[in-house]
Structure 1
């Protein structure tokens, strides 16, 4: 079995230990600077999180490909307890991840669950996921590397790297991938936090626009029925419930019935 054991203690006596990790061995200072600089550029140059992760997947594939070879990379994040591929370096890479999800498990999902790197050097010798490895072998993939990405809280992620070569990653290249992911994790956490803030801002704007429509509609009902604000709100809610229509849509209908220009503007400071 070519997959790396999950613990160092389980390495067989005949296994060659990984070389000692040093700055000189992993990468030169120039390469480390290139990684950090490029990731910073991605954050600054991409306005949408999806664009960032796409560029990150492509960058990962270019940085982690063995000399004279190429690899396909995916970034997988667990959302609402389900794994989702947020970006792929190539369409072929996305197919590999979809196969893993369809079969319910695989090296990359295992890497996310355990927080440890999982390596399958030759899928034809892997016994843990027989149906999955047969499916990826049929796609021309022969070795797989799953490296966890350290995020925050309950969020988990992994960089999934696929190669068409048997034993496509040497021990040195596996360590390099681990260091690359460690260097990248801080930037990924920043990008995800910015995405969360953006989502929260958009949700707040949508809520304020709905609130504006409801408040204006309540004012219309108050004027038409000469009733209190609470009574007007009750009328609006009753109409919403009886018609099984969202409250903001009922409010929009009320406004359209009295205004030649039903478009509303919500005024707030950015």
Structure 2
């Protein structure tokens, strides 16, 4: 695929990138770099960033350059800016002259101070509760032409499918990690219950009550109390008299 004189990744290459990326952040970084290459040409540099907002997750930001990353972080911290507005409104947003921007003056001055006048943000359709946007920053005062805006929108559409797949994979990884942590926690608690049962010659429900009371008394999680008992079994502390009925 040719965009603004530069070759962008094919659908097959994007699929391979989904499979080879270690995590969501690495994938976003690769996409941002290639979007930058696809929209830049000899007369004008464009830097790009990808921002993903997910329910109950920190905002994920990756960029093709440090300057683009800083501008995206500035918006995320302030909760305002063209990227935030585009994410909320799900429509393309174009700032022709950041130095004269009145809606987000702090952001506009930061962008202009770094030499970026034209700001283009294109939302990426994810078809779920997550939201994403491609942010593009141009150094040239003329900003983006209609054809370049269309090219950026085409890139955003091309990224939609691979990004949806990457987010699904990321959710599966998180669910796997949560399950592993829960199983590990359950194992530690079961071991601690066994230790209290042996020490006090009591049934499991009474041993669990002992652990729960200790957790409340110490104002800490049940797993932490259980872990201290397991550590004592290993000989690092003395639990006798601490967990008696």
TM-score range, shorter chain: 0.7 to 0.9
TM-score, reference length from structure 1: 0.79
1:54 aligns with 2:23: no
* Of 70, 74, 88, the match for 2:49: 74
Aligned pair in 2 of structure 1 residues 109, 257: CA closer, same or farther (>3 Å)?
closer
> What is the alpha-carbon distance in structure 2 between the residues aligned to residue 171 and residue 58 of structure 1?
22
State the secondary structure of the residue aligned to 2:102: coil
Report the more deviating stretch, 100-109 or 176-185: 100-109
1:188 aligns with 2:163: yes
What does 1:193-232 align with in structure 2 at a 5 Å threshold?
193-232=168-207
Q: Which aligned runs of 4 or more in structure 1 are off by greater than 3 angstroms?
A: 79-83, 101-104, 124-127, 259-262
> What is the alpha-carbon distance in structure 1 between the residues aligned to residue 86 and residue 144 of structure 2?
16
Per the TM alignment, residue 243 of structure 1 is displaced from its structure 2 partner at its CA by: 1.1
Give the match for residue 242 of structure 1.
217
> What is the alpha-carbon distance in structure 2 between the residues aligned to residue 121 and residue 218 of structure 1?
66
Bigger relative CO (Cα 8 Å, ≥ 6 apart): 1
1:142 aligns with 2:112: no
State the secondary structure of the residue aligned to 2:140: coil
> What is the alpha-carbon distance in structure 2 between the residues aligned to residue 235 and residue 140 of structure 1?
64
> What is the alpha-carbon distance in structure 1 between the residues aligned to residue 218 and residue 58 of structure 2?
38
Q: Give the gaps of 5 or more residues in structure 1.
A: 1-22, 263-270
> What is the alpha-carbon distance in structure 2 between the residues aligned to residue 143 and residue 63 of structure 1?
17
Per the TM alignment, residue 210 of structure 1 is displaced from its structure 2 partner at its CA by: 0.6
Residues paired across the two proteins, number: 236
- 8 Å contact from structure 2 (residues 33, 48) kept in 1: yes
Give the match for residue 8 of structure 1.
none
1:93 aligns with 2:68: yes
* Of 162, 167, 173, the match for 2:137: 162
1:105 aligns with 2:80: yes
State the secondary structure of the residue aligned to 1:127: coil
> What is the alpha-carbon distance in structure 1 between the residues aligned to residue 67 and residue 107 of structure 2?
15
State the secondary structure of the residue aligned to 2:59: strand
State the secondary structure of the residue aligned to 1:233: helix
Alignment RMSD: 2.6
Per the TM alignment, residue 209 of structure 1 is displaced from its structure 2 partner at its CA by: 0.4
> What is the alpha-carbon distance in structure 1 between the residues aligned to residue 232 and residue 97 of structure 2?
69
- 8 Å contact from structure 1 (residues 142, 166) kept in 2: yes
Q: Give the gaps of 5 or more residues in structure 2.
A: 238-245
Per the TM alignment, residue 202 of structure 1 is displaced from its structure 2 partner at its CA by: 0.5
